[in-house]
Structure 1
Amino acid sequence: MLILAIDTATTDLVAGVVEGTGAGARTLAGACVPTRAHNETLVPEITRLLGEAGIGFADLEAVVVGCGPGPFTGLRVGMATASALGQALGVPVHGVCTHDAVAAGLGGDALVVTDARRREVYWARYAGGARVDGPDVCKPADLASPPVDVLSVPPGLAEQVAVEAREVTYAAPTPAGLVAAADFSAAPGPLVPLYLRRPDAVPPKQAPKSTALP
């Protein structure tokens, strides 16, 4: 099975072509591009990677996309692209939690933290690769967790997360991790973005009634 895996939930645009699933899966072509211009970069990068793998769009048999947690704009780019490709090619599209894809490559007990901006972080905790808490969003100082083997956190936030860990590193999602997080034995459900962020928009306050009105 040839699978296109993409993730735009973080500032790392991740895309790749993976052949097979499970232990025998191998990445034919992959890239992790630091960018905030996901909209301009994603489709050209996919096209380039398909060429590197020596295949065309018509050869793809499934698409896996990271559904966050992440900011609205980034998630919208990746998920809309995945959905459009799935419809155009007639292939299934599997949505996965981005943090699950990161944890797939860490092993042991792990805490995966990503930047939620606005002085907050997204996080999820894992035991033996299985998610046991989260994903959720909070301020770095409010993130409480039992000690873990691995803490994956962006460099600029590492000193703000007071969680005991034997190893502190930063791991971006990978094409192989995205595929490992997908359940290909089940029919894919609707893509549901994990925004987690409280909405910025609030209902307008009702204007006070004029005393001149009866």
Structure 2
Amino acid sequence: MSRVVLALDTATPAVTAGLIRLGGARPELLAERITVDPRAHAERLTPNVLAALADAQLEMAALAAVVVGCGPGPFTGLRVGMATAAAFGQALGIPVHGVCSLDAIAAGTSGQLLVVTDARRREVYWARYRDGVRTGGPGVSAPADVAVDGVAAVAGPAAVAAQFGLPVIDREYPSALGLVGAVPDWAAEPEPLVPLYLRRPDARTLAERGLA
């Protein structure tokens, strides 16, 4: 049976909202809005959702499920996407599936692939894949500490991917089709949404700083 899925991701500088129809021979992209702005997750996500719905000439009531990237990514960006996904799910009474955002970039690829995104502090978030299936990670490391033995290509933002001296494939950010493709089993009950921060936030309590 045909159903429409809302796909969201704010784990990277790209604010992604898309609509995918499931039920045919392969997922069909109905509409997608992506804004690349690391400071505009909160401002752009809902407008991008509404614009995608308008592009597809659909109402909110047409949505049957939500899929959202859960990182790895920074705290603020992840919070916006995951909170929005949970709100849509609760308001519409539909399931919300969380996926690793790096899996969404790798979905549908072949061969051995490294996916990287910017973790700031001169580090990268990374994961390794074989034919789109994760075989290592996700992790956060300095680029020099990421093992690339056996890897045929790298995907991710161009400036980040270029640090590894490997062929770069044109997949910089999670797409709506990639997010849908990263869901392992649409028939299964979704697990609770868990953000993949991979490291502690910069903010610390007084006790953690030894000042209490």
Same fold (TM over 0.5): yes
The range that moved more, 189-198 or 71-80, is 189-198
Q: What is the match of residue 152 of structure 1?
A: 155
Amino acid at match of 2:168: V
Name the CA shift for 1:206/1:89 in 2 (closer, same or farther; >3 Å). Answer: closer
Please report the TM-score for the alignment, with normalisation by the length of structure 1.
0.89
Contact kept? 1:22, 1:180, Cα under 8 Å: no
What is the root-mean-square deviation in Å for CA atoms of aligned residues? 1.7
Q: Give 1:205's aligned residue.
A: 210
Task: Name 2:118's counterpart in structure 1.
Answer: 115
Q: 1:31 maps to which residue?
A: 33
Question: Is there any run of 5+ residues in structure 1 with no aligned partner, and where?
Answer: 208-214
1:1-214 equivalences under 5 Å are 1-20=3-22, 23-36=25-38, 37-161=40-164, 165=166, 167-171=167-171, 172-182=173-183, 183-200=185-202, 201=204, 203-205=208-210
Give the counterpart letter for 1:191 in structure 2.
L
The number of aligned residues is 204
Going from structure 1 to structure 2, the CA distance change for 1:176 and 1:22 (only over 3 Å counts) comes to: farther
- Cα drift, residue 185 of structure 1: 1.9
Structure 2 unaligned spans of 5+: none
Contact 2:105 2:156 in 1 (8 A): no
User: Residue by residue, what CA displacement relative to the aligned partner does 1:130-188 show, whole Å, maximum 9, x if unpaired?
Assistant: 100000001112111223222013222234335xx3x2134121101101111212100
Q: Do 1:69 and 1:99's aligned partners in 2 also have CA atoms closer than 8 Å?
A: yes
For residues 185 and 90 of structure 1, the distance between their equivalents in structure 2, rounded to whole angstroms, comes to 16
1:111 CA displacement? 0.4
Most deviating of 177-186 and 63-72: 177-186
Deviating 4+ runs (over 3 angstroms): none
Of the structure 1 ranges 149-158 and 54-63, higher mean CA displacement relative to structure 2 is found in 149-158
